[in-house]
A = this chain, B = another copy of it.
Amino acid sequence: MLISEASMKSGLSADTIRFYEKSGIVPAIERGSDGLRRFSPENVEWLTLLYWLRKTGMPMKDMQRFAGLYREGDRTVQERKALLLGHAETLKRKRTDLDRCEEVLAEKLAIYDKLERNQT
């Protein structure tokens, strides 16, 4: 499939996909005789994983490391597991950040409600 379809399916923009390829986070994608990238379903699966890692704040350095390990094959499975488990931890921290921010917003909104009632 072409880049537009890969983009739609993975959630990453075409520009971002090309950027990731240049950065080595995505393997060099095969090209047709027309010079256009042809994405395999495996490519798209990889892009989708990257989409979620990135969307939840994994820095590019980590993704590069992850991609490097992937290229090295099955003997790096443990390290890749550790990396993903580490990311799962940051997800937890992000969740507590959301909790705390919701509290802060609730307090602020309560104050505004009071102000509004006093205005009328």
Contacts and interface: CB of A to CB of B under 8 A. Distances in A.
Contacts of A115: 74, 77
Nearest to A102: B91
Interface string A68-108: 00000010011011001101100100110110111011001
B112 A77 contact: yes
A55 interface: yes
Number of copies: 2
Q: For chain A, which range describes its interface: under 10, 10 to 19, 20 to 34, or 35 or more residues? A: 20 to 34
A80 B116 CA distance: 11
A56 interface: yes
A102 B81 contact: no
B49 A80 contact: no
A109 interface: yes
Contact of A88 (B74, B78, B100, B102): B102
Nearest to A91: B98
